[in-house]
Amino acid sequence: MSEYGKEVNAAITAFEKRVGSTRAAYAEELPLACETAHQPLFLPTPGYYLKALLCEKLASEKKGQGVYGLIDNDLSLFASLRQTHLPALNKNGSTAIGFKISSTDEKKAFNFIPKPSKEEWENALEKISDSYEKDKTRELTEILWNAYNRGCNLAEVNAFSTARICRELLQTKTLFFLYSDLQETGAFGAACEKLADRNEEVVREYNSAISTTNSTMKRLSENETLFWCQCECGAKATIWKQKEGFVAACASCGKKAEFYDVKREAKKISPKAVARSLILPQVLGTTAYVSGAGAFSEDEGAYGVVAFKLAKALGWPMPETFVWRNKDYYSSRTRSAAFYAAKKLFPNISPKPLEATAFLATEVEKLAKKVEKYRTTLAEAKASQKRDEKTIQELKASIQAEQNKLTAATTAFELLKKNYSVVDLCSSIGWSKAKDDWTAALRKAPTVNREYFTEYSTQTLH
């Protein structure tokens, strides 16, 4: 257990009480061994829940427990905090279900966003349950209503439903806590102070890590720190180191606050993404971490790589890190409709989702090339000195026919390939079957040692 065992226990216990669980506090059980983290999202894709499954497996291998930190005090910029996507036979291949927040609220921490009105919540839940057989969504709907009634803000509603889905529908033992609760105990203070003491070095190494990774992350300015200060207006203020002490400047309301002691202000201070990776293992006392693949992808900023490079430069220990990349193949009501639309075009298409997706990928490519080739021929025919109107009309008709096929094949392909809300998969095949399939796939998964993490890679056929 870390020296913050008491604070961590308080945050976990506070969460358990509010989520309505009768589970005993973790201190009486096994030590925390593996950590994972995410903003509390509204019914996102399965990967968000798979973090809990992998976390539990790794923790049990280390004879300890898994813990899922829900970053409820992050900024409210992502649509996935308040919107989920189900498949639909339209040109986007999906329909969004969720809630709008004002542009003023987007600048606030997520735990400052009010929950939607009862009517809005009811409408969203009805749209979900109307998309499936009633008894397939009954348990989920009960969990969502319970979370709605208990949560004081949208972040809590999502966090409570996440915990109960993981516990009751996916049968995981993973513990949960809210970052705002842990921050409230002051547990981040000492580690934040350690980084703040070396801020000049931190800025230099952080920027150097960014420049060597093609990361799209913003460089730190001179004296900028890796922490936020929670402003009273709800927004998060950047903290700057001064000659003596610090100043937090809120870009939203313009308020400035000066302070001298990071530890004393710890209840207001939270680490940004890179600092989170360095600080949380120390606070939780964990030696393994389940990360999302995006943290190491340059398209998404590669903040995981920046964290590892910064830690190395500072001589700061990092946990053993794991990523589970999974692709689900399953049949749902809308996916079947997409499949049968494709079967009209390609009667020989395999009914197996994996084979059908691969087949459509090839067909889409072939059709696109065909259309392109017709277009070139048409352009040549138009430019020819012996311009033949009949040939031109025939070519135009052929282009139209192939283009129609291409559009239909692309729609079906996108629908079979895309990741949707966990609701689509689990309301179609059942939560316990989904979990069994994932567990079986993970058990057989080959592991690949990447530069910064160990990767489990699975294709789950449900």
Structure tokens at 430: 């059942």
Residue closer to Zn ion, measured from CB, 150 or 255 = 255
In the bound complex, what is the minimum distance in angstroms from residue 250's beta carbon to Zn ion? Answer: 3
Amino acid at 225: T
Nearest CA to 430 among 84, 139, 42? 139
Half-sphere exposure of 115 (CA within 13 A, CB side): 23
> Is position 252 an interface residue for Zn ion (rule: CB under 5 A)?
yes
Q: Which helix (H) or strand (E) holds 150?
A: helix 134-150
Structure tokens at 32: 């925390």
- Of residues 235, 356, 399, 434, which one binds Zn ion by CB under 5 A? 235
Residue closer to Zn ion, measured from CB, 202 or 231 = 231
> Is position 231 an interface residue for Zn ion (rule: CB under 5 A)?
yes
Residue closer to Zn ion, measured from CB, 144 or 248 = 248
- Of residues 11, 166, 239, 250, which one binds Zn ion by CB under 5 A? 250
Rounded-to-10 torsion of CA 237, 239, 242, 244: 100
Binding residue count for Zn ion, defined by CB under 5 A:
7
Binding part of the chain for Zn ion, among 106-114, 210-218, 227-235, 300-308 by CB under 5 A, reads: 227-235
Residues 49-78 that bind Zn ion (CB under 5 A): none
Residues 391-410 that bind Zn ion (CB under 5 A): none
The DSSP symbol for 72 reads T
Distance CA 203, CA 198 (A): 9
Residue closer to Zn ion, measured from CB, 252 or 410 = 252
In the bound complex, what is the minimum distance in angstroms from residue 233's beta carbon to Zn ion? Answer: 3
Residue closer to Zn ion, measured from CB, 255 or 405 = 255
Residue closer to Zn ion, measured from CB, 253 or 448 = 253
In the bound complex, what is the minimum distance in angstroms from residue 267's beta carbon to Zn ion? Answer: 16
Please, are residues 126 and 132 in contact by the beta-carbon 8 Å criterion?
Answer: no
Q: Strands, DSSP E only, in 188-344?
A: 224-230, 236-241, 246-249, 256-259, 269-271, 288-291, 320-329
Distance CA 238, CA 223 (A): 11
Distance CA 321, CA 450 (A): 10
Residue closer to Zn ion, measured from CB, 236 or 309 = 236
Query: Could you tell me how many residues make up the chain?
Result: 462
Distance CA 375, CA 392 (A): 10
Structure tokens at 372: 């392109």
- Of residues 30, 89, 190, 233, which one binds Zn ion by CB under 5 A? 233
- Of residues 24, 77, 152, 253, which one binds Zn ion by CB under 5 A? 253
Residue closer to Zn ion, measured from CB, 109 or 395 = 109
Binding part of the chain for Zn ion, among 74-82, 249-257, 283-291, 336-344 by CB under 5 A, reads: 249-257
In the bound complex, what is the minimum distance in angstroms from residue 252's beta carbon to Zn ion? Answer: 5
> Is position 251 an interface residue for Zn ion (rule: CB under 5 A)?
no
In the bound complex, what is the minimum distance in angstroms from residue 103's beta carbon to Zn ion? Answer: 15
Please, are residues 292 and 325 in contact by the beta-carbon 8 Å criterion?
Answer: no
Residue numbers of the site for Zn ion (CB under 5 A)? 231, 233, 235, 250, 252-253, 255
